[in-house]
Amino acid sequence: MRPLQRPVFALQHRTENSDRDLIAAAIEGSESAFAALVDRYKDRVFRLLGRYCRDPVECEDLLQDVFLKVFRKLHTFQGESAFYTWLYRIAVNAATDHLSRASHRRLRLVGDDDALDLGTEPDQAPEAPLVAAELAAVTRQIVDSLPEKFRTVLVLREFEDLSYTEIAAVLQIQMGTVESRLFRARQRFKEALERLHPELLPTGEPSSGRGGSR
**Residues contributing to the site for other proteins (CB under 8 A):** 27, 29, 31, 34-35, 38-39, 42-43, 46-47, 50, 56, 59-60, 63-64, 67-68, 71-72, 75, 110, 115-117, 132, 135-137, 139-140, 143, 154, 157-159, 163-164, 179, 182-183, 186, 189-190, 193, 200, 202-207, 209-214
Minimum distance of other proteins from residue 86's CB (angstroms): 18
Residue type, position 174, single letter? Q
* Furthest-apart CA atoms within the chain: distance in Å: 60
Q: Around Cβ 158, how many Cβ atoms within 10 Å?
A: 15
Minimum distance of other proteins from residue 104's CB (angstroms): 25
- The whole-angstrom separation of Cα 180 and Cα 149 is 11
Minimum distance of other proteins from residue 103's CB (angstroms): 22
- The whole-angstrom separation of Cα 173 and Cα 96 is 16
Minimum distance of other proteins from residue 40's CB (angstroms): 10
Minimum distance of other proteins from residue 110's CB (angstroms): 7
> Which CB sits closer to other proteins, 39 or 123?
39
Q: Around Cβ 112, how many Cβ atoms within 10 Å?
A: 10
> Which CB sits closer to other proteins, 104 or 210?
210
Return all residues near 159 (Cβ < 8 A) that are at least 6 apart.
Answer: 48, 51
> Which CB sits closer to other proteins, 82 or 109?
109
- The whole-angstrom separation of Cα 142 and Cα 209 is 22
∠ CA 135-152-138, nearest 5°, is 15
> Which CB sits closer to other proteins, 100 or 183?
183
Closest Cα to residue 78, out of 22, 16, 23?
23
> Which CB sits closer to other proteins, 104 or 121?
121
